[in-house]
Structures are given as structure tokens and as C-alpha cells.
A and B are shown apart, each in its own frame.
Chain A
Amino acid sequence: MSQNSEEKRQVKTLERERLDLGRLVKVGEAGLRIVGDSVRRTDDVLKATGKLKYAADYPQEGFLHGKILRSPYPHALIRSIDVSKARELPGVVCALTGGDVPGRNGFGAILPDQPVICQDKVRYIGDGVALVAAESERIAQKALELIRVEYEELPAVFDPRDALAEGAPKIHETGNQISLDKLRKGDVEAGFAQADVILERTYQVPFLEHAYMEPDCCWAIPQPDGTMMVEGPMQAPFAVRRNVAPVLGVPINMVRARQIHMGGGFGGKEDSPIDLCCRAAVLAKHTGRPVRISLEREEVTLQTCKRHPMIMELKVGVTKDGKLTAFKSTVYDEQGAYASLGPKIPPAGGSHVHAMVMSPGPYEIENCWVDAYLCYTNHPYGGAMRGFGAPQVHIAHEQMMDELAAELGMDPVDIRRKNAFKLGSKTATSQVLDQSVGLRETLDACEERFGWSQRSDSAGWVDAAKTKRRGVGVAMGWYRTSIGTGGDACGANVHVHEDGSVILYSGITEMGQGAFTVLPQICAEALGVELEDVRLVKPDTDLVPESGPTVGSRSTTLMGNAIILACRQVRESLDQKAAEMLGVEPERLVFCGRKVFDRDNPDGKALEFRQVAAAAMASGMRLIGQGWWAPPKASLDPETGQGSPYFVYTYSTHMAEVEVDVQTGEVTVTDYVAAFDVGKAINPKALEGQIEGGVAMGLGYALMEKVVLENGMPQNMSLQNYLIPTMLDMPDLKPLVLEQTNQHGPYGAKGIGEMPNIPATPAVINAVANACGGRVRSLPANPEAVFWAIRELGGPPQD
């Protein structure tokens, strides 16, 4: 209930680590008023009253409706294509094939390897071979049926290991292997020689659907001046613009991308709007009219990106007292048909390299060796999804930690404590963690809150009839803030007006995570005004400075810093003016709650913020600030995978209790504690929301979610058979928030959007194994898989 819910959540500030890294904002600056407060999220009333407009709610008068004819084959040559009948259908305005794309016939978040309209071959079921625009969706749909395509089927590849084999059918001209990335630290064979126990295990995870509740919908509107405006729910308007321009064959400044409020994204709406906006823009260019493409739920599954599946072969050595000595892993990361966000953007961007860097886990290990293959197959393609390659590798190393502990007869918590990162630890890439490492603290906090030792002692049969067994599981995790690319940076503009009101221009998008609340909070705090004084201009590439994508848990940190820098520029004018007006040195001024006063004389004369702003403006001073912030330079050696790829990490420990029905294999998660080191909780309530949602998604990954593919065809395209957790599946969740300040973050904050999703899956899987003895190494641990895992053991443990 609400009272005990306040109680069950705790925010605790840990002792500050003192390392001088030229931090941007003084940690613990006196009197933070707005940052750290769970202020109401700005759009929530509109959402709760049904007034907030999503893409599907925008008027459609005057729009043409675009539809995509998709390939029924996973791999085939296009012999011929005839759209003439479709063109003749009344109400059809145009029907286009590959030759009709005005510019580059390719798009992609990193490499433009996906055709806007396939011309010579198709690479997955869902590839677009023709586009139609018509006066209604129904007519457009009819027109698709009139298009004749002759295909010549090619042998298809559905397993990354097959794709790498010699003589495998070639999916792209460049070959099936996109990259082999390597990580080499120490001497892994010497490490194994020191080990008392060595285990080899293979773990496997499937394609996952984002299952955002709002199906995709984007449109393109040609403007009178020749600009193409594209709009839709999108996480990365700048990436959309960067793709639409070359596809139309126009310079970047002739495309304008605007974000419409998103009904969930989770990484998926980084890719799909690029796809839809490019296609809508091509149709709009041909017809000279606004064109809208809206996908049905099934089309979302067929066409858009998913979470990458991986096969992970691990070999890990440990001494008998639990110290890890060597970690070796071969990762087959299945990209599917198109590159999307998989490939490397040097030095350490892209999901694949990220997965490799994270794969040995948040542990000190002297000797590490990873070979990570990224390759094409004829499946749908993998893109970004909450954790960007990290959830997959955590599922492997966190299960391995438990398997090693069991082999040693050690407690899973103890083996983790023995090896977990602390301040000064060296990662697998030999990065020295020089700040904000609260991992062990999260383990301690979680252990205490969960009551690990009592609970693990009482694992076993729940009922006298011996139908259900109870077990507990733990998992740890780490996740980067920032994206590790050379160009990772963020800009913000802040305009202060003579009446004290403020406009904030930011290109960070809102998908429900709370950016449109948290960013104005930071702006208000930095200027010393109230939250209601700040109006945020929604992402629009014509208005806001380049901000990069809203991904990688980077928004609060990078954009937060850019906002603070922009506010400082304005503050220079305000400080100077207020100093004159009060007759004190600018250093002694405090801006807080719309007042400006002398720090040393707080009860003396105070000026109104708007007075100072008006006076500054009347003297021709600059009240426009532009902030630009880039994280410390990322590095990663392309041969050895050594370097400092991401400047700071968030840490977390999760503990889960489950009950397993040993006859049916059904799993119920009965209790859950998750602890995080987030640097600084800017808005604790919004943060908890991220935790609860992330854990739910991780639980779905563990127990039920999988895109079932047969010969490249998704078999569960609707929410009827692609199951996600419902309210009945969620346990009572207790989030613990610890603050181990990050000196680079605004007010000490680190990213949080993705972290909660990551350890949740292995924590649940480990609890299942603890309960019933059976371990499911190929996810999901649905009732069938758990049932067989128990059978494989010859039945559940009898004690």
C-alpha cells in the first residue's frame, strides 16, 4: 500500500568518493531544490485524461496512405516486378519499385545496407519490394495484392554459425561476417593453469520483440520551400534526418524531422522511424502530397528490429576459494538481414562491441579472451533494445557465476563479493574504474533487504504434497553511460527572457522515461528559477541543436551537462548585472527559487530573478546560452579490445525468489529486491518507474518471451502469442537506490534507463535453478523448458 510503498523504497547517499577529475558541477552543492525531488512529470495529466496526442491521433485529412509490399521469402532474387495493375486501381496515386528511389537506395542507423525498396534481392521475410500510396489504407492494401513479383528462391541461412561456414550462401556482397571483434587481456591459458575448477558452458538467447504498446506510425509532408518534413514517434530525429536526406538526394538542411510523443520505444524506435520516414518521404516526393505509413501490430513484428539473439560459449576458471582466474568466450551475435545498430562505430560504439566489452561481467579477472562474431543471417534484424547487447552477455556470465559457485560449494553471493569491481578495479579492457563504483554496496544492500542467508537456507519444498519448490537467485550487472562513439556529444540552447521565463531547446526525445521532466528540472536548478518557468521545445531538427540519439542511457548525463553549460553562459550576464545591482562580488551571489541574494547576507536585500533578467536585457547583455558537452574521449584498441570505452558505469544487484511447480514447470516470481548505484537520483519517482519497468521486461525475457521463427517467418506476430508480463506476473518489487556520485554527471548522475533490465533475467533464471535443480541455458525458461530441465536431472531434488 502507499505507505509501505514509501517505506519499501529507499534512497541512500553513500560517502562521496574524492578523486579530482575536474568535475563539472560541485557535488553536493548546497541547497539543491528541484534536482532530487520527485516533481510531477510534465505530460502525465494530459496522458491520464486522454488528451495527449500520439501519432495515430493526428488528423489525416489530405494524407495519402503508404503501404509496403513485403517479401514472402527469407532469401531470394527478384526476377521481375510488375506494378502496372496496382497503378491502374482507382485511388492509387503511385506504386514504386527500386528504380524509383530518387537518391541512395539504402538506409540504416549505422550502415545504409537496407534498401528503401529492394531492387535485385530480398534478405528477410518483411523486406520491402514495392511501395504504394493511395487515397485510403484499404485501397493501398488492395493495390498490394495487384503487384506481381517473380522471385527466385535462394538457400537461406538461419544460424550465425552456419552463416560463417565456408560456402554458406552469401547474404550481402561484403560477406556474412560483419566483424570479428577481439578482447585480449593477460594470458588466458596461464589463468586456466592457476584454476582449480574450470567450467565450459553454452548459453543461448532468442530474438525478442520490443512490444511497445504503440505500433509505429510516421509521415512525410513536402513543404512549399522544397523541404521534406518527417514526423513520428522517434528516438533519434537526427539519425532519421541523416538517412532521409541522401535517400531523397538532397542536402541534410532540406529535411526536417520532428518527434511526436512516443508510446514506448525501448530502443526499437531508433530504427523503425528511419525505415518508415525514408519510405514515406520517397512516396511524398513522388506524389507531392503528405504520405502517412502506419503499421498494424503484425507488421511491426514482421518488419522492425528486435533484440539480437546470441550464442555464447564460455570457459571460466576459478580457484577453490572462488577467485576468477580466466575468462574465455566465443560469442555468435546474430545480426539478421541488416546491419542496423550492430556494427562498430569506432572506437566502441554499436551493440556488438558493447556486448563484447561487457561480456566478462563486473568482475576483476586478470586473464580474459573473447572472440565475438557479428554476422548476417536471413532472419529479421537485431537493433537496439534496452541494454544494447548487455542483457545477453549478462545472462551468460551470471549463470556461469552460479554454476561455478555450485561446483565449489560456495554461496552465489560470496563468489560475487570475492570478484566484484570496486574503486580502482581494472576491467576486462584494462580500464581503471576511477570513480563512482558502488557495485559491492548494491550487493550488501540487496543482501540485507532481501534477507539472503535466511531465504537461501529455507529454499526447497513449499508444500507437504511436494508439488512446488522455492528458490532464490542473485545477479549483478553493470552498464555504461554514453555510447562510446567518437562523435558522442550533446547540445542545448537556453533562452532567458526579460520576464524571467525560460525556453529550453533540446533534441532528447521523450518515450515515457521522463526526459521532458528531468531536463527542465536540471535547467531550473542551474538558473535558480522554478520548474514552471522553463518551457521545453520538443525535438525538432530545425530548432534544436544536434543532440544525438536518445539511447545508451546517455540523455540525463550528456544533455544535463550541456544544459548546465548553456545556463552558465546566461548566468555570466545575470551574475554581472546582479552584482552591480546588489553591490557585491559575483562569486557571492546565490540564484535560487526566482531570487538572487548575497550568500553572506541571506536575509538582506534580495532581487527577483526577472528584475535581473530585465536589467541585463536592457543593457544589451547576452541572455542566450548554448551548451555543448562531450564525454571524456573513448578508446578501444581494435586488435586487443583494450582501452577505456565508456567513461562511467552504473551498477546493480538483483535478488529474486521464485516458486517452481515441478509437475508443470510453471514459475512464479514471488519476491524481488533490486539495488542500484545511480550516482544521483534526479527524480527518485521517475527513477523507480524505470526500475520497475526494466525488471518487468527482464522477467519476461527470462520466463516467456521469444520470437518463434520458422524458415525465417515469425510465428507469433501478435500479442496473443507473443506474451509479455501482465500485472499477475509481477512480484512485489523493492527498489533500493544508492548514490555514489559520478564527477562527470550533472549533480553526480549516471544513466539508469537500461540497467534495471539487465540483471533481472539471470537473477530469475538462477532462482529457478536454485529451486528445482534444473538449469535452462537456452531461454526462455517457459514451463516446457523448465519441465524438461527437471526431467533431465531425473526429477527434482528430494530434500
Chain B
Amino acid sequence: MKIPIEFVVNGEPQALFVKPNHTLLDVLRDDLGLLGAKKGCGEGKCGTCTVIMDGKPVNSCLILAPRADGSDIITVEGLADGEPHPMQKAFVEQGAVQCGFCTPGMIMTACALLDEKSDPSEEEIRLALSGNLCRCTGYAKIVEAVQVCAQRIQQDKGA
């Protein structure tokens, strides 16, 4: 049995038939071919599958596909607008990327944080991103990347 859902992904309306036991992550990867969100654990513990759903970062591996009906989803593919998003640039410049498997999820959580709070403290960054695991970087450069990005966005606004 398949269930019809309609939702918006990266600004594009989508109408699909999904299996009720499939997750949002399955739908993004298998049905829509958006491979940026990764499956590190499949049970909500690593954050590599993070996407932004109605403005909030979510573990897409935990969301059953039918629940995405009517929602607005942004994935890592939807950030770049011709050129990379400032957060993506900051991650690259600060050396916050090693194997890169955690990176898309990390970036989505970080973007959602800055959307909510443009000037977070280091503690707030650490807390917001603590559900995204990274085994490679030790997180130092990720924190810096988020700080640099926040600063730049502030400056651009000021200018």
C-alpha cells in the first residue's frame, strides 16, 4: 500500500506515493535522488541525516514519510544558490570538513540555529550541534566555522 503525500523540497512542490514504513530519509534519497543527507545509524543518534523541516532541524531517519505531508523541507542541496551558502563556505575555509560524512547534517543543524538566533554564543552552538556526531574533526573547527559564518552574516546585514 502506498500513501500520497505532497510537500515542498528545496522550494519545489513534490507529490509522491510513499510506503508508510519508509522514512523521510528514504524518500529523499531513493525517490527524489537527493543524496546529500546520509544514513550513519538509522535510529536518530548520529545526525548525519539532518534536514530542515518547517524551520527546525530533524533527523530524517526518524520521520515516517507520511508525516512529511504538507511540510517544507530544505536539504543540503537546497542551500547553495548558484554558489555555496556562507555556511558551506565557512566549513570549507575553516577546515571543518574531514571525511565529510557528517558535514551535510552538521551544516543543516548549524543553518537552522543561525536562522533562529543570528548571534549564538559558543555554548549555544555546542548545545545545538551536540546531536550531530563527528568522529574525525574533534569539532573545534566546526564551532569556528559556525562562528565565522554568523559573524559574516551579521556584517553583511550591517553593510
Contacts and interface: CB of A to CB of B under 8 A. Distances in A.
Contact of A2 (B91, B125, B138, B144): B144
Contact of A44 (B34, B92, B131, B144): B92
B101 A213 contact: yes
Given A48-B103, A266-B135, A53 B35 contact: yes
A788 interface: no
B92 A727 contact: no
A720 B62 CA distance: 14
Nearest to B137: A693
B34 to A, nearest CB: 8
Interface core residue of A54, A685, A693, A724 (most chain B CB under 10 Å) = A693
Interface stretch (A327-335, A411-419, A456-464, A694-702): A694-702
Nearest to B101: A263
B133 A726 contact: yes
B136 A693 contact: yes
B95 interface: yes
B102 interface: yes
A727 B88 contact: no
Given A48-B88, A50-B104, A263-B99, A213 B139 contact: no
Interface stretch (A35-43, A420-428, A437-445): A35-43
A212 B92 contact: no
A730 B139 contact: yes
A48 B42 contact: no
A49 B79 CA distance: 8
Contacts of A213: 38, 40, 46, 48, 99, 101-102, 133-136
A718 interface: yes
A464 to B, nearest CB: 24
Interface in A691-748: 691-697, 718-720, 724-728, 730, 733
Contact of A727 (B39, B95, B101, B142): B142
Q: How extensive is the interface on chain A, given as a class?
A: 35 or more
A570 interface: no
Nearest to B134: A213
Contacts of A49: 36, 76-77, 79-80, 84, 88
B14 interface: no
A296 B80 CA distance: 30
Contacts of A43: 100
Contact of A724 (B35, B100, B101, B133): B133
Contact of A48 (B92, B130, B140): B92
B133 A719 contact: yes
Contacts of A262: 99
B46 A719 contact: yes
Contacts, number: 177
Nearest to A8: B140
Interface string A257-287: 0000111111000000000000000000000
A728 B126 contact: yes
Contacts of B101: 54, 212-214, 263-264, 512
B129 to A, nearest CB: 5
B84 A724 contact: no
B19 to A, nearest CB: 11
B159 interface: no
A506 interface: no
Interface in A30-60: 38, 40-41, 43-54, 56-57
Contact of B95 (A38, A511, A726): A38
A730 B147 CA distance: 16
Nearest to B97: A44
A692 B89 CA distance: 21
A593 interface: no
Contacts of A214: 38, 40, 99, 101
B45 interface: yes
Contacts of B100: 43-44, 46-48, 52, 261, 263, 512
A43 B95 CA distance: 11
B107 interface: yes
Nearest to B84: A49
A726 B45 contact: no
A726 B36 contact: no
Contact of B135 (A1, A264, A297, A685): A264
Given A692-B141, A733-B138, A47 B147 contact: no
Nearest to A45: B92
A291 interface: no
Contacts of B40: 213-215, 263, 297, 719
Interface string B48-59: 100000000000
Given A2-B144, A264-B99, A512-B99, A693 B41 contact: no
A694 B91 contact: no
Given A5-B144, A49-B80, A689 B137 contact: yes
Interface in B96-137: 97-104, 107, 125-127, 129-137
A681 to B, nearest CB: 13
Contacts of B77: 49-50
Interface in B47-90: 48, 75-77, 79-80, 84, 88-89
A488 interface: no
Contacts of A697: 135, 138
Contacts of A691: 138
A744 to B, nearest CB: 27
Interface string B134-159: 11111111111001100100000000
Given A213-B133, A689-B95, A47 B139 contact: no
A695 B35 contact: no
A2 B79 CA distance: 24
Given A45-B88, A213-B133, A689 B35 contact: no
B43 interface: yes
A513 interface: yes
Contacts of A1: 144, 147
A496 B156 CA distance: 44
A688 interface: yes
Contacts of B103: 47-48
A324 interface: no
A694 B42 contact: no
A211 interface: yes
B41 A696 contact: no
A719 B88 CA distance: 26
B20 to A, nearest CB: 15
B45 to A, nearest CB: 4
A719 B99 contact: no
A296 B147 CA distance: 34
B42 A693 contact: no
B85 to A, nearest CB: 8
Given A213-B46, A696-B139, A730-B139, A57 B102 contact: no
Given A264-B135, A727-B143, A733-B138, A512 B92 contact: no
A305 interface: no
Nearest to A215: B40
B96 to A, nearest CB: 8
A592 interface: no
A337 interface: no
B12 to A, nearest CB: 16
B112 to A, nearest CB: 15
Contact of B138 (A50, A511, A693): A693
Given A48-B91, A297-B42, 13 more contacts: A47-B100, A49-B36, A49-B80, A54-B38, A211-B135, A213-B101, A263-B101, A264-B135, A685-B95, A693-B136, A693-B137, A718-B43, A719-B43
13 contacts: A40-B92, A44-B92, A47-B104, A213-B135, A213-B136, A214-B38, A214-B40, A261-B100, A264-B101, A265-B99, A512-B100, A514-B98, A727-B125
Interface of B: 34-43, 45-46, 48, 75-77, 79-80, 84, 88-89, 91-95, 97-104, 107, 125-127, 129-144, 147-148, 151
Ranked 7 nearest A-B pairs via Cβ? A50-B36, A512-B99, A47-B100, A263-B101, A692-B138, A512-B98, A696-B138
